[in-house]
Amino acid sequence: MTTRFKTSIRRSIANESLQIALDNNTQRRLKGRAAALESLPDWRERRQHAHGIRAEVVSHLDEYLAPFIAKVEQNGIIVHRAGDTAEAIRIISGIIGLEPKLIAKSKSMVTEEIELDHALEAAGHRVVETDLGEYIVQLRGEKPAHIITPAVHLRRQDVGKLFQEKLGIPYTEDIPTLTATARKVLRQVFLTADVGITGVNFGVAETGTLCILTNEGNGRMVTTLPPIHIALMGMERIVPTLDDLALMLSLLPRSATGQKLTVYTQLIRSPRGADEMDGARERHLIILDNGRSRLQQSALQEALYCIRCGACLNACPVFRELSGHAYVGIDGSIAPYPGPIGSIVSPGLFGLRQFGHLAQASSLCGACKDICPVDIDLPKLLTRVRAGSISVTSRRSSVNSGQLPVTSGVGLSFPSKFGLKAYSRIASSPRLFAFSQKVAGLGTRILSPFSQWMRLPSITGWGYSKDFPRFATRTFRERFQHEVVFGDEIFNKEAASEKAVKAPKTQNVNLVERFSQELETVGGHVYRVKQDELSKGLIEFLRKYDVHEVMMWDSIPAFRQTDLSEAGVKVVTGTNPSLRVGITGALSAIAETGTLVIPSAKGQPLGASLLAEIHIAIIRSPQIVWSLVEVFQSNEVRDASATVLITGPSRTADIEMTLTIGVHGPKELHVFVVDG
């Protein structure tokens, strides 16, 4: 371990405020995740299936990239390939042009990886991070401390002081007030930005669709309002089909934030159509290598299966004490990717010399593997980094350089090499391994009773400062015959299969009831009305909110727009950001997750469900289906320039993990379900 890394570790551990912030984050994330998985009785099978898909794609990357690129281009998005950081920045700068521009950015780890903000600001542009957590760390001049919760290291007092100093508001610790301030400031950025930049969570080879997930709605804003949208994607983020995407979406939000589906799941297929009212007119996709081809050819290939959910960071007992800023390179620079996966990806992409020591900060307890939704064997990869069994040169070395030289035990002392060799021999034989566990258990049972009085002043470690731990009476292997261990939970195998048996039989589910229940759980409101009661119900609702003007789609099935005009409500077709209420229809809704499905089309601007404080949607009950898979089969979704799946009002938990509603998108979501 390097001196700088040791120093930053000590600094983190001694920081009491950081420790409290990290504990808050971990407890809530792990609890949320466990609860979300309860609703997915077959998650173990899904996890294995997802692992298989990622393995297939990563090992045949070129075969999936070629049809993906062809489809994306056919859809009208301009595709660029960047071999490294310099090339990516050159391409993006070329698209933006020389004139200083305002750039609204949505959260993206791959843009952090290439330090895009820094490069664009140096070129004279103004870049504004629009995810609340990213905005906070940008104002502080810091890097994100977690891959999905950038401001995890801060408490409300820190944010209060920051906003007082940078935004000139009176000091407050009230999180809704802080969030409302950011909403107000960033709304102006969205409305006036020249360019929007996002990452890409998944690219679908079958259809050329880009999938982008955000809870706050900033991803929607930066892809809908500015005329130019640039998406930057790591070359490994491909899934073969929309069905595979549905599988990944059943695992990623549950693992990342404990949600059944992210609030806004966007599917972007093309620039805005000629007859559409909103959406970027020009879209670019930059596919970045930056060392991924080398990683794919190395012993660390499995690290590319990662879908960046951040769960392994939350589960890691080391990360939980340190946070991302403690993971520093040999030169003291903060690693772009921290935690268990970061300790593999950072040296894998940027060099073993610079970041190889990060892999030492792991207890190899296996919690990261257990929690990973795509079942990456992180401990195995961490030991490979430790043993130096990859050899990656510099960050800017050429790409596609083929097979990496494999070395063994680079930089290790003779006893370490000998120990690893002996361990490797034992661990590769199940019988030898089982026998060694028994011997170790016997040894500690003999030592443990004496360890209290073995405390010699010259000895430090076990027996001196601590009692020697008693070994479990049964080995892990023996216990594993009866139990399945996953993260913090231990499920008995029989209990798990019982749960699976109790999985909902969709044919017996009342779809309307289930949809209402799920949407209300995430903060939405559902009203069931008969066809002849709809107008009356809607007008009463608007009166209650004292609303006299609304933005609305040109037409909504099941609803007569003239009823509103006759009741004295002015209807603006199209989008108007100053209006409080937006009324839309929906193509369908998903009962399993409480989700509305809204594709962009002529007369159906996406802004109507995004810009207002209150979004009202009207849907007929037969439009409600059970799952995402059915939605992805619909031609309207496959062919739309952009589709958004909305699961509740806009939300964030970026400050002290406190749930706050209405960051950038609507603060309220009301759905009128018309029976029959």
Which residues sit at the interface with ligand SF4, rule CB under 6 A? 306-312, 341, 371-374, 376
- Compare residues 238 and 306 and give the one whose CB is closer to ligand SF4: 306
* Minimum distance of ligand SF4 from residue 375's CB (angstroms): 8
Nearer to ligand SF4, 310 or 523 (CB): 310
Q: How far apart are the first and last CA of the chain?
A: 66
Phi then psi for residue 115, to 5 deg, are: 50, 50
Q: How far is the CB of 324 from ligand SF4 (least distance, A)?
A: 12
Cβ 645 vs Cβ 631: under 8 Å: yes
Q: Report d(CA 594, CA 584) in Å as an integer.
A: 17
Which residue number, 110 or 617, has a Cβ lying nearer to ligand SF4? 110
Give the shortest CB-424-to-ligand SF4 separation in angstroms.
Answer: 24
Shortest Å, Cβ 303 to ligand SF4: 7
> Which residue matches tokens 């809607």?
538
Between CA 474 and CA 479 the distance in angstroms is 6
303 touches 376 (CB < 8 A)? yes
Task: State the Cα–Cα distance between residues 344 and 331, nearest whole angstrom.
Answer: 18
DSSP state at residue 273: P
What is the Cβ-side half-sphere exposure of residue 442, based on CA atoms within 13 angstroms? Answer: 6
Between residues 28 and 183, which has the closer beta carbon with respect to ligand SF4? Answer: 28
Compare residues 231 and 374 and give the one whose CB is closer to ligand SF4: 374
Distances (CA, A) of 441 to 447, 475, 559: 10, 8, 73
Nearer to ligand SF4, 306 or 590 (CB): 306
CB of 379 to ligand SF4, least distance (A): 11
Q: What residue has token string 């996406």?
A: 606
Nearer to ligand SF4, 193 or 341 (CB): 341
CB of 296 to ligand SF4, least distance (A): 16
Token pair of 170, please?
A: 């009176």
For ligand SF4, give the closer residue by CB, 115 or 377.
377
CB neighbour list of residue 467: distance below 8 Å, 6 or more residues apart: 448, 451, 452
Minimum distance from residue 26 beta carbon to ligand SF4 (Å): 14
Strand partners, 601: 604
Least separation in angstroms between residue 132's CB and ligand SF4 is: 21
H or E stretch including 559?
none
CA distance 203 to 625: 24
| Of the candidates 287, 286, 283, 285, the residue with the CA atom closest to the CA atom of residue 228 | 283
| Nearer CB in complex with ligand SF4: 312/511 | 312
Q: How far is the CB of 348 from ligand SF4 (least distance, A)?
A: 12
Alpha-carbon gap, residue 27 to 607, rounded angstroms: 36
Identity of the residue, 53 or 372, whose beta carbon is nearer to ligand SF4 in the bound complex:
372
Closer CB to ligand SF4, residue 137 or residue 307? 307
Q: Can you tell me whether residue 402 is helix, strand or coil?
A: coil
Q: Rounded CA gap, 115 and 234, in Å?
A: 14
Indicate the burial class of 505 (C-beta count within 10 angstroms; 0-12, 13-18, 19 or more): exposed
Which residues touch 33 (CB under 8 Å, ≥6 apart)? 254, 255, 258, 311, 314, 371, 487
- Cβ proximity to ligand SF4: between 92 and 304 the closer is 304
For residues 551 and 576, the answer to whether their CB atoms sit within 8 Å is yes
* Half-sphere exposure of residue 143: CA atoms within 13 angstroms, side-chain side: 23
**CB 157 → ligand SF4: shortest distance, Å?**
29
Nearest to 119 by CA among 148, 86, 151: 86
State the Cα–Cα distance between residues 251 and 45, nearest whole angstrom: 11
What is the nearest approach in angstroms of ligand SF4 to the Cβ of residue 640?
A: 29
CB of 146 to ligand SF4, least distance (A): 10
State whether residue 560 is helix, strand or coil.
coil
Q: Could you tell me how many helices (H) and strands (E) the chain has, helices first?
A: 28, 24
Q: Tell me whether residue 299 or residue 311 sits nearer to ligand SF4 (CB atom).
A: 311
Containing 598, the helix (H) or strand (E) segment is: strand 595-599
Structure tokens at 628: 């995402």
* Residue type at 557 in one-letter notation: P
Exposed e or buried b per residue across 400-438, where buried means at least 16 C-beta atoms within 10 angstroms of its C-beta:
eeeebeeeebeeeeeeeeeebeeeeeeeeeeeeeeebbe
Question: What distance in Å separates the CA atoms of residue 570 and residue 406, rounded to the nearest whole number?
Answer: 70
